[in-house]
Chains A and B, each alone.
Chain A
Amino acid sequence: MMEILSALITGIAQGSMIALIALGYTMVYGILKLINFAHSEVFMMGAFIGLFAITALGGTQAPLLAGVGGTLCAMAFAGVLGVVVERVAYAPLRGRGRGLSNTRITPLVTALGMSVLLQNLAQLLFTARYRNYPQLLPIEHTRKVIFVTAVLVMIGLELFVKRTWMGKAMRAISMNAEAARLMGVKTSRVIAITFVTGSMLAALGAVLFCLDQSPVYPTAGVVIGTRAFVAAVIGGIGNITGAMLGGLLIGVIGELTKLTPYSGLQDVLVFAALIAVLLVRPTGLLGKPGTEKV
């Protein structure tokens, strides 16, 4: 019984972190109807920068400064990287393909290419070695910090999207981008801010993830990125609350699997959950048919 309870707690911590990454997929999809495959690499790059910054700031010598400072560095870097990816790889295609039929496929392929490019770049810059974060906090505390941070960030994001002008512009664009432009909304700026926000959340998730005893390496984004993407789809892609829910669900499923002899099947179960949800609700848990929310 205690085992299940503790697995639930770990699962919720894991899940809230997955949710942080899922938010990036879902926000970008909501606005551009694009699956940003490079998002998992932004996560990975964020994890690397976080590690370097934490080490540079003193690591275990000054855990608070290193933890907070390192996280902020990682977020800033990822925010910039996210916008660069958008401007270099996606924005040029948007302008050109207007009104043509393959406008959704081309950026998708570009996104895949961007993902591979960043993985290889990381390989080149940082080598394929697995690196561990210094243990800044005892592990039980780390999980609490993860959970609390994730919840606060999600509440903040929900308020940002519902209450601020920028959030309203994001939702408007996701419903009808052309109409949003007709209101005078500078859509390219809103898109950039969406990428910045999503990428910063991914970096935050990355640092939290690695503080929780996970190593960082150039393909570290793949597994966790896939889970986060599945979380976004389960929740209803384009829907922020859905991404949070999906993340929690996947985190809990993952941890509960570890209690069984089939712990290796974690990702199989994650995908089974995805298929089960989509069979019952093709638009995901909170996705509305026909309409799309950020």
Chain B
Amino acid sequence: MKTAHPTRKPPSTALGAPLLEVHDLAVAYGGIRALKRVSLEVRCGEIVAMIGANGAGKTTTLKTIMRLLPIAAGRISYDGQDLAGVATEEVVARGVSLVPEGRAIFVNLTVRENLELGAWNHKDQRTIQETLEDVVKLFPRLGERMKQEGGTLSGGEQQMLAIGRALMARPAMLLLDEPSLGIAPRLVADIFEAVALVAASGTTILLVEQNTRLALKYSTRAYVLRTGEIAMSGSSKELANNEEIRAAYLGG
């Protein structure tokens, strides 16, 4: 995304320095521990992938970063500032946006209204309009469907809408939770290409995926999450060639 008219100050973190740091994070649902001890970092400008089986705790990690879930132990910091006690809305205002698992678009609102809500923190009409044009350039299919209700879009289009909606906030950091989930393969490629473009324009990305092949292809580094703990981490190339990973996540 071009940011010709940035309305939010870019992160003070220098390119290549840690933008998001998660340190020994533990999270529980009621009495059940979903995350035991998760540490990871995403440096400014990187695409980092987080892979892992069903129930490993990937969604829990992202939701906790967005402060939708309480932290049981550990620390999360973004752009040098602790996120403990920060409300979700404030995390968004600081420049982090999440594209939630299952897309969570507003089904009875039009595509345009969905996108406009994404720009909630920007009340300047011109900025909103420009960002909207950027999003439509990225996903031309959305442009053709502006007046349609979100719920009438196909799964892939809904995913595009969910990503576009998150981009409307002009985030410095984008979290994506399984963007390939339940989407036709042809559209999955489009979506990942779009994500790569977003990254190329300077947005830092943390990508959660069950499609390990894709995740490792598009990321520079990756973490493997297993039952609430980081089991492995390294450069995506290394991990793609790792025997254990190939056996467990890449089908041999």
Contact = CB atoms under 8 A, between A and B. Distances in A.
Interface string B58-75: 000000001010000000
Contacts of B118: 183
Contacts of B169: 183-184
Nearest to A171: B109
Q: Which 4 A/B pairs are nearest by Cβ-Cβ distance?
A: A184-B92, A179-B104, A184-B120, A181-B88
| Range, interface on chain B | 20 to 34
Nearest to B122: A184
A290 B93 CA distance: 31
Contact of A179 (B29, B100, B108, B116): B100
A169 B108 contact: no
Interface in B76-100: 87-89, 92-93, 97-98, 100
Interface of A: 99-100, 165, 168-169, 171-172, 175-176, 178-187, 288, 291, 293
Contacts of A185: 89, 117, 120
Given A100-B30, A184-B121, A291-B151, A172 B100 contact: no
B109 to A, nearest CB: 6
14 contacts: A99-B30, A100-B30, A168-B113, A169-B117, A172-B109, A176-B106, A181-B68, A182-B104, A183-B117, A183-B169, A184-B120, A186-B87, A186-B89, A293-B108
A122 to B, nearest CB: 36
Contacts of A184: 89, 92-93, 120-121, 169
Contact of A172 (B30, B68, B106, B121): B106
Contacts, number: 68
A165 to B, nearest CB: 8
B108 A175 contact: yes
Interface in B103-136: 104-109, 113, 116-118, 120-121
Contacts of A169: 117, 120
B165 interface: yes
Contacts of B117: 168-169, 172, 180, 183, 185
